[in-house]
Amino acid sequence: MNNKKVWWKRLAVGAGVLFAIYVVVEIVLAGDGTPPLPPSQAPIDLRGGHVLNNHIATKSWSFDYDHARLSPDGMSGSVDGVRNGIVFRKGKPYLRISARHIRLDIQSLDFTAVGKVHIERIDDPQGRAFDTDLVTWTNDAKVLRMDHPSYVRSGNQTLKIDRISVNFDDNSIHFGKLSGGVDVQH
């Protein structure tokens, strides 16, 4: 009889160990067969704009991008690989912008572009373009600032400007210290 108790104990311990292994394996493998959810194609509405299919648009600017992230509260975000960005002036496309990274304030519609930033005026007969590494757009004031050195290119001419500020409301441009040579023609 003592031999029978040992046999049942061994069988119970073995079954318990097998059950524990089964539970651990199932926990580890849980979720492997579940396919990821497809990305949402529904537009995200923001104040005066929308986000859909790698394009974000507001009444002041729009961007095509590679990747975007919004904060959990949806009030700020960042956009990587911006191309074909447009800044509007009085409702019409005015500047084209491309940037490596842009930080957005969704509530105020302000943005800061960092990294390699390229800006050109749309339909500019002289083909002027600006290259810099920091651009700030303040939506309420309608001011675009380039506070780091910027290179203005027109044809084969290049001019280095320490800082530039463009006010879209009163159509004024303020330049910092200039270096380089440019031919001016009227």
* 0.75 exceeded by pTM: no
Helix residue ranges, H only, the chain: 2-29
Is position 19 within any domain?
Answer: no
Contact indicator for 55, 48 with CB cutoff of 8 Å: no
Is position 40 within any domain?
Answer: no
Is position 171 within any domain?
Answer: yes
Domain that holds residue 55: 46-180
In this structure, how many other beta carbons lie within 10 angstroms of the beta carbon of residue 86? Answer: 17
Is position 141 within any domain?
Answer: yes
**Euclidean distance between CA atoms 55 and 46, whole angstroms:** 13
Task: Provide the residue-wise pLDDT of the chain in tens; the chain has 186 residues.
Answer: 566 667 788 888 888 999 999 888 888 777 666 665 555 544 454 444 556 666 777 888 888 888 888 877 778 888 888 888 898 888 889 889 999 999 989 888 899 999 999 999 898 887 788 899 999 999 889 898 999 999 888 778 888 899 999 888 888 888 888 876 666 565
Total domains in the chain come to: 1
Amino acid at 46: L
Token pair for 36: 């990821």
- pLDDT computed for residue 89 by the predictor: 83
Is position 5 within any domain?
Answer: no
